[in-house]
Amino acid sequence: MRTIPIALLLLISVAQSVTMAQKRKTVVDLIVSGGTIVTMDGPRRVIDNGAIAIKGGRIEAIGRASDIGQRYAARQVINATGKVVVPGLINGHTHVPMTLFRGLADDLDLQEWLTKYIFPAEAKNVTEEFVRVGTRLGLAEMIRGGTTTYCDMYYFEDAIADETSKAGMRGVLGETVIDFAVADNKTNAEAMSYVEGFVKKWQGNALVIPAVAPHAPYTVSEEHLRAIRAFSDRTGAPIVTHISETKREVDDSIKAKGASPIDYLNRIGFLNNRVIAAHV
């Protein structure tokens, strides 16, 4: 009868113990380990030599790397030693396809820039393909810079939502409505029909929150603003808009309407907690 050396028995016992310990760990998809974790939680904890366990796209746990390592096993581990790990940044206002217009007529008064350069350039160049290409470029740059969520308003916003979802980004994305013919609609009725379908398609999506985006109180009539507010009330869709972007806009509003843009919009019942007001 052969005898098994004591050393081999001990090795087998240790291996079995390690295997059992691993089985007791919760299996997750990813662990980011070793970095300085800036949690941005309530107490604003900063954890040196920390780790994050992630499963199904959601954070399961955050803590010291040693603690996370004891509790979780991962299919993939990222060594973040020497790095700072932070939540994704949020870009609060974009026209992401306009990345392709970068450098066009910089350093001008806003109204001159819009009326002499941007509006004509958009009329000549903006198509759904233009929007997709510009969005892909803009998203790549945001991801590279640490931005994971953004708030956008432009044309062909359904295409922007599609590209955003494919990139794994999050976005509050508003289809622009303005009182003249543009690339993806020629009338107010066409614009609102597009918005209706866009919101219906994307509401409930895990990454995209669809919105309606009246350009500004000086480019959208009171009647149209009221209709947009009614649409938002009916659907729950956010409203994204420009308000008080320049001193000239404020002065012109006071002259034309007897009130600042904010006071005017409040007077007509447009403002509520679903309005995202860029520049104000």
| pTM, full prediction | 0.85
**Predicted confidence band at 20 (pLDDT cuts at 50, 70, 90)?**
low
- Statement: residue 276 has pLDDT above 50: yes
Q: Cα torsion for 7, 8, 9, 11, to the nearest 10°?
A: 90
**Whether domain 27-85 has CATH 2.60.40.1840:** no
**Predicted confidence band at 13 (pLDDT cuts at 50, 70, 90)?**
low
**Predicted confidence band at 86 (pLDDT cuts at 50, 70, 90)?**
very high
- Residue span(s) of the chain under CATH 3.20.20.140 come to 89-278
**Domain 89-278, CATH:** 3.20.20.140
| pLDDT tens-digit map of 112-171 | 999 999 999 999 999 999 999 999 999 999 999 999 999 999 999 999 999 999 999 999
**Predicted confidence band at 107 (pLDDT cuts at 50, 70, 90)?**
confident
Range 75-94 average pLDDT: 96
Range 271-276 average pLDDT: 98
Share of the chain above pLDDT 70, in %: 92
Exposed, middle or buried, 52 (CB in 10 Å: 0-12/13-18/19+)? buried
| pLDDT tens-digit map of 203-259 | 999 999 999 999 999 999 999 999 999 999 999 999 999 999 999 999 999 999 999
Least confident of 48-62, 104-118, 158-172: 104-118
244 φψ region: left (φ > 0), alpha (ψ -120 to 50), beta (else): left
Residue 208 CA to residue 198 CA, distance in Å, equals: 11
Which pLDDT score, from 0 to 100, does residue 106 have?
Answer: 84
- Statement: residue 18 has pLDDT above 50: no
- Cβ(239)–Cβ(211) below 8 Å: yes
Share of the chain above pLDDT 90, in %: 89
Question: Half-sphere exposure (CA, 13 Å, Cβ side) for 203?
Answer: 13
Q: What are phi and psi of 95, to 5 degrees?
A: -125, 75
Range 20-29 average pLDDT: 78
Range 265-270 average pLDDT: 98
- Residue span(s) of the chain under CATH 2.30.40.10 come to 27-85
Provide the mean pLDDT of the chain: 93
